[in-house]
Amino acid sequence: MEEKMLTVYEQMQSRGYSRRDFLRFCSWMGALIGVEATGLARVVHALETKPRVPVVWFHFQECTCCSESFIRSSHPIVADILLDKISLDYTETLQAAAGKQAEEALHATMKKYKGEYLMLCEGSVPTEADGVYCCIAGRTALDIVKEAAEGAKAIVAWGSCASNGCIQGAKPNPTGATPIHKIVTGKPIINVPGCPPIGEVMAGTIVHLLAFDRIPQLDGLGRPKAFYSRRVHDTCYRRPNYDAGLFVESFDDENAKRGYCLYKVGCRGPVTYNACGVMRWNNGVSYPIQSGHGCIGCSEANFWDNGPFYQHLASFPGFGIETTADKIGVAVGAATLAGMAAHAISTNIRKRHEIKKDQNEQDKKGGA
Ligand code: FSX
Ligand code: SF4
Ligand code: F3S
């Protein structure tokens, strides 16, 4: 008998979730993917009425943290319903089936839903030595990707591995690790980088595909704009310290305890596009910078090869105080300072003064 394809809403009902839970989930997801109130009605309608989308989820050269991140998303419905809804067809790490049975399920889905299924990939694909470095069921990842991509409606490259090669692609890249978009052509591909990506970003990308039946707006690197249009630096709560020239000089100094900016100990926030500062991790609890460690730029291409993690960037694009942060004390006396730069510097000196004053008061209170 033909299996009835449930909608997200039906699936939720069958698991005992109420309509209120469903609507809450829709508005949470709608907010994540940046839809207006009018768009929200579309999300609700789509998740209420559209039958499930067949999905195959592959694992190549990777550590499986992308799956981990997804199933540990702060909202229980993401793993419980979205994953259930989308991924039962084939996902090596989570499916109940194994071996021959699993391979049959994969091929049955690819055949039955040709042109309709979503192809989700974790990991890079080795291309050296005819791809022998990653084989599943006796076939190379290279072969599998090419075959599965042909019948896929759209492809999502999860994580930095599938989006840009990540650690496997780092020099000297012995296996010839290659991201999906360099292997497949002629298909819509969404890159969702990060090592791993934030679970809610992954869920948001899937909900967008389900609800709108088209790929989200992407930037020049194929990343959904809703999540990757701002630098970690732009939304960092330590940013006022950066602007004021207040930096941690070493990880155990007083400035580290005060939560000053981590730029001088290597933070890559100024050159990294990701939503960590806004969405944070583990139910919005924290993110690397909040835990006292600089951003290592895990969502940017070649981040493993971009110099030592604990050495600060020599320079990065952008105007003004960003380029003078190191020289703030010297620059302030220079007679040539004019216009915007002078304003930026004086504003920052003032900020620095205010932050320090606050800090001293807090220190006094703490010591009293
Ligand atoms: Fe890569 Fe996914 Fe890094 Fe791991 O599986 S993005 S190695 S954290 O998580 O592919
Ligand atoms: Fe935050 Fe890093 Fe930017 Fe400093 S350099 S403000 S710690 S993102
Ligand atoms: Fe990665 Fe930087 Fe976010 S290291 S997790 S992009 S803060």
- Domain annotation covers residue 11: no
Q: What is the pLDDT of residues 109-151, one digit of tens each?
A: 999 999 999 999 999 999 999 999 999 999 999 999 999 999 9
CB-count exposure of residue 256 (10 Å: 0-12, 13-18, 19+): middle
- Domain annotation covers residue 180: yes
- Domain annotation covers residue 267: yes
- Domain annotation covers residue 148: yes
Of the candidates 160, 192, 226, which is a domain's last residue?
A: 226
Co-location of 129 and 182 in the same domain: yes
Residue 133 belongs to a domain with what CATH number? 3.40.50.700
Q: What is the pLDDT of residues 3-58, one digit of tens each?
A: 667 888 988 898 889 999 999 989 888 888 888 777 889 899 998 998 878 889 99
Q: What is the pLDDT of residues 200-257, one digit of tens each?
A: 999 899 889 988 888 999 999 999 999 999 999 999 999 999 999 999 999 999 999 9
Longest Cα separation, the chain: 83
Name the residue with the closest Cα to ligand 3, atom 3: 276
Please answer whether residues 167 and 65 qualify as being in contact, where contact means their C-beta atoms are separated by less than 8 angstroms: no
Co-location of 246 and 293 in the same domain: yes
Of the candidates 226, 252, 287, which is a domain's last residue?
A: 226
Of the candidates 186, 202, 226, which is a domain's last residue?
A: 226
Instruction: Tell me the residue range of the domain where 74 lies.
Output: 51-226
Q: Which ligand is nearest to the CA of 274?
A: 3
Look at residues 231, 199, 201, 195 and name the one whose alpha carbon lies nearest to residue 216: 201
Question: Residue 336, SS3?
Answer: coil
Co-location of 80 and 197 in the same domain: yes
- Domain annotation covers residue 287: yes
Residue 273 belongs to a domain with what CATH number? 4.10.480.10
Cα-to-centroid distance, 287 and ligand 3 (Å): 7
Number of domains within the chain: 2
User: Which runs of E-coded beta strand occur in the chain?
Assistant: 55-59, 90-91, 117-122, 125-126, 135-136, 139-140, 152-158, 177-178, 189-192
Cα-to-centroid distance, 237 and ligand 3 (Å): 14
Co-location of 216 and 144 in the same domain: yes
pTM: 0.86
Percent of the chain past pLDDT 70, that is, above it, reads 82
Co-location of 201 and 238 in the same domain: no
Co-location of 323 and 222 in the same domain: no
- Domain annotation covers residue 27: no
Co-location of 119 and 86 in the same domain: yes
Cα-to-centroid distance, 29 and ligand 1 (Å): 23
Look at residues 357, 311, 344, 362 and name the one whose alpha carbon lies nearest to residue 243: 344
Give the nearest ligand 2 atom to 289 CA: 7
Q: What is the pLDDT of residues 288-341, one digit of tens each?
A: 999 999 999 999 999 999 878 998 876 554 434 444 434 433 332 233 333 334
Please answer whether residues 275 and 254 qualify as being in contact, where contact means their C-beta atoms are separated by less than 8 angstroms: no
Mean pLDDT of the chain: 84
Token output for 91: 């996902």
